[in-house]
Chain A
Amino acid sequence: MFRRIEPAPAAGTLVFDGRSIAFQAGDSVATALIAAGVERFRDHPRDAAPRAPYCMMGVCFECLVEIDGRQNQQACLIPARDGMVVHVQTGARQIPERGHDR
């Protein structure tokens, strides 16, 4: 669990697995989620164990989530945006449907 050293006004709201999460200016999707107490970003494709951000700088790929319908998104690199729809990524990457995997 994390806490903000100084609360700031919300810059927007994203939805994570159906739950509304307010974020602050400058938050990546990963900072927004860990600030909100999210502990599980994805289930590992091999053993389904929960995984969460490890490096926060784009090298470990543990923070992969689904964002606005696109899988395998690095939550630590992508700025949080108002109205974003984020899901836990479960299992291996799905075969993209036509036109889905832009």
Chain B
Amino acid sequence: MTADRMDTDHIAADRTSHDWDAVVIGTGPAGMAAAAALAEGGARTLVVDEQPEIGGQIYRAIERNRNHSRLARILGADYLRGAPLAERLRASGAEISLGTLVWRIDEERGVWIRRHGAIERVSARAVVLATGAMERPVPTPGWTLPGVMGIGALQIALKSGGLVPAGRLVLAGSGPLFLLFARQCLAAGVRDMVLLDTSDSTHLLGGLPLLPRALTGEGWRYLLKGAGLLAALRRAGVPFYRGVRDIALEGERHVTAIRFVHRGGAARLACDTVGLHEGVIPQQQITRSLGCAHEFNPAQGSFRPVLGASGTTDLPGIHVAGDAGGIIGAQASAHDGNIAALAILRDIGRLAPEAAERRIAAETRARHAHLTVRPFLDRLYPPRAEILAPADDTVICRCENVTAGALREAVGRGVTGPNQAKAFLRCGMGPCQGRLCGPTATAIIAAATHRSPEETGYYRVRTPLKPVTVGELAGLADHGAPNAERNRERPS
């Protein structure tokens, strides 16, 4: 117990020097659960989100929509699971700061935020990164045309604005969100919809050995839901092309048609809106900027931070919870948030180690029940090959209009990694700071240099994580905060 006592003394002394016991970044399922559990456990907790409402993307606008009978019915029961989580967060006593951008985290667990146009640094004894996932970039000829969006983006328009595409909608992609959103469109009265399924039927064979495990735990519920979605789409007679490849979008000022290959033949469909989707990947910007170790997960085709038990990173007091640590889905993410919170409460002396261990074990079991289906889904829905090896004239960096061919040519001239490519081509140096081209750049360079993605590496991510102006930083300096002069506005 001596070690524990010393630890407690140290933490008691530490308490005075920090603004918060814990700062949680993100109000999706992981962030809501983490912040609620921390505050319930007596930790002074601040939770921030860039969005003006809590819920993250999966439960976006949940507090408005739960009482909107039509939207609630369209979005379905799994979406409404966000409502009790939101209630729990509101009742927990955690301070919620929305419309709050995190643009830097420093080594002393200082979280640099911007809210209402002003910059502040808030410090915490522990930080939970619950920044979730983003849609995997899908470089496709013509994907920069207005009218071409991620399927997740179209779903956000539905959740946040009650909007559905008018005219003909083509959804091209694969995976759970592809089917779910198609079903939601059907329920929302979208009549002219065509589905282009890019998954390969041979993947089903590869996935079969993983099926028995997928049926255990909560896995069967996910499979049943998927089967139900497919059956509903079939009953409604939605045109469904399977095994589609070689997708390209046509249009001058807006998308007007989609071309693709189906059963060996070329096809073309006029359309008004196109949704593309090839799964989701962890958001890496913050963990990368902190210099956390990352590994490439071949099963999910994406990088993830290397995490210890309860989501610990290699930096003391900094945890990752939910999809930001590897794709696990909404329900497992909520358990992940609880686990990180319990570990932090233990570490700051708010929860006895035995109680923490018992509750973490229970949360871990519950989390695991949602993960049995994941290996099967990962095998069934890998990203289509052409987005990892786009044709030479396909734009991969949307901000700087850098093509796959330009990157390959740069590799031919001796570029060996993503950071050199940045210097040669400016790819990854536009406003999105590589979020939309990083995965593709790694894949192309890895293929061209015959190395693994892990050996190839990823863009070095620098702060500010999003553009912050000199004026905003000057405001910080006026208030006497340290180090402001060291930060410069990103040129854009």
Contacts and interface: CB of A to CB of B under 8 A. Distances in A.
Interface stretch (B206-214, B346-354, B414-422, B465-473): B465-473
A96 B103 CA distance: 21
Interface residues of B, number: 57
Interface of A: 1-6, 8, 24-28, 31-32, 34-35, 39-41, 44, 46-47, 49-62, 64, 72, 77, 79, 92-93, 96, 101-102
A32 B156 CA distance: 13
B492 to A, nearest CB: 5
Interface string B451-492: 000000000000000010111100000000000000000001
Given A35-B161, A56-B153, A44 B254 contact: no
A34 B163 contact: yes
Contacts, number: 143
B75 to A, nearest CB: 11
B188 interface: yes
Nearest to B167: A1
A77 B401 contact: no
Nearest to A54: B149
Interface stretch (B195-203, B333-341, B375-383, B428-436): B428-436
Interface stretch (B50-58, B120-128, B306-314, B356-364): B50-58
A55 B61 CA distance: 16
Interface in B124-166: 134-135, 143-144, 146-150, 152-154, 156-158, 160-166
Contacts of B154: 56
B263 interface: no
Nearest to B149: A54
Given A32-B161, A34-B157, 17 more contacts: A1-B272, A2-B165, A3-B164, A5-B189, A24-B162, A26-B161, A39-B254, A54-B143, A55-B153, A56-B150, A56-B152, A57-B134, A61-B431, A77-B52, A93-B492, A101-B471, A102-B117
Contacts of B163: 2-5, 31, 34-35
Nearest to A77: B50
Contact of B144 (A31, A35, A49): A49
